[in-house]
Structure 1
Amino acid sequence: MAKIKDVAKYVKSKNAGPFWTTLEIYCETFEDYRIISQSKHLTKETVARLYDTDAEAVKMFYLENLKVVKISYPRKKPQGHKYERDMHSGQQYVLIANVEI
C-alpha cells in the first residue's frame, strides 16, 4: 500500500512556537491532494498515536487551493527543554510521511 511520502511532493515539519509542532503535506496535483486529504488513515487519532499526544489537541487544516494538509500538535516538551531532542521540530515529518494512505 502507498504511503504519504509516495504521493506527496513534500512532507515537512517545523516549529510552531515553543509549545507546538506543525506538519505540512504538500501535493503536486489536486488528485494527489484528494487521495491524501480523504485517507481514512490520516486522522487526529493517528497523529496522536504517532506523536504521543491527545487527539483532541491535534488540529488539522485542509488547504485545497494550495493542495496542502497542515497538522499541528502540542509538543511533549517545550522547545529548549533539557530533554527535548529536536529543537526546531525539523525531523518530526518522518513518522507522518510513513503513514499508509
Structure 2
Amino acid sequence: MTENKTLYELAKVLRSKNSGPFELTMDVIFDNRDYYNKVKDSGIITKELVCKLYNIEEKDISTLVFFDPAMAFKITIRRPIDSGSIGETDVYGAQQHAPLMGVLIPM
C-alpha cells in the first residue's frame, strides 16, 4: 500500500503573498531533499492542478517553477480581485495557500 502525505506535512514553508496588486505568489519550500524530490518527481504539481484548486484558467497562471537549489517551487497567479479593491478579502494575499495544503503526494 502506498502511503500519502499532504504538502502541509512535507513542506517546511507553505505560504502565499502579494506579487504586486494584480498577482499572488505561493511558495512551497522544503528542508528535506527527499521530500522535495518526491513532490517534484510525482508530477502532481501541474498547471491543471492549480487551475482546479483555484478555479482559474491556465492563462491566469504566470509562473509554476521548481527551483532545485532552494528545494522549492513557486506558483504565481492573477488575483481574482485586485489588491485593495472593493470585494477583495485578503489585501496581503497571506491566506491564499490553503488549497495547496491538502494536496496528496504518494510516498
Equivalent position of 2:6 in the other structure? 3
Gaps of 5+ in 2: none
Give the CA deviation at 1:41.
2.4
Which residue, out of 28, 33, 36, partners 1:33? 36
Correspondent of 2:78 among 70, 74, 80: 74
1:87 maps to 2:84: no
Q: How much does 1:29 deviate?
A: 1.7
Cα root mean square deviation, aligned: 1.1
- Paired residues, what number? 101
Report SS of the residue matched to 1:23.
strand
Q: What is the DSSP-based 3-state SS (H/G/I as helix, E as strand, rest coil) of the residue aligned with 2:80? A: coil
Report the TM-score when normalising by structure 1: 0.92
Letter in 2 for 1:72: T
| Contact 1:33-1:68 at 8 Å conserved across structures | yes
Report the Cα distance in structure 2 between the residues aligned to 1:39 and 1:73, rounded to whole angstroms: 22
Write the letter of the residue equivalent to 2:66.
Answer: Y
Identity of aligned residues (%): 27
SS of residue in 2 equivalent to 1:34: helix
Q: How does 1:56-67 map to 2 (within 5 A)?
A: 56-58=59-61, 59-67=63-71
For residue 92 of structure 1, report the CA deviation from its aligned partner: 0.7
1:53 CA displacement: 1.5
Q: C-alpha distance in 1, partners of 2:55/2:21?
A: 17
Distance (Å, rounded) in 2 between the aligned partners of 1:31 and 1:89? 29
How high is the TM-score relative to the length of structure 2? Answer: 0.87
Of 23, 39, 45 in structure 1, the residue corresponding to residue 48 of structure 2 is 45
Q: Whose radius of gyration is greater, 1 or 2?
A: 2
Give the unaligned 5+ runs of structure 1: none
> 2-side partners of 1:41 and 1:63: how far apart?
16
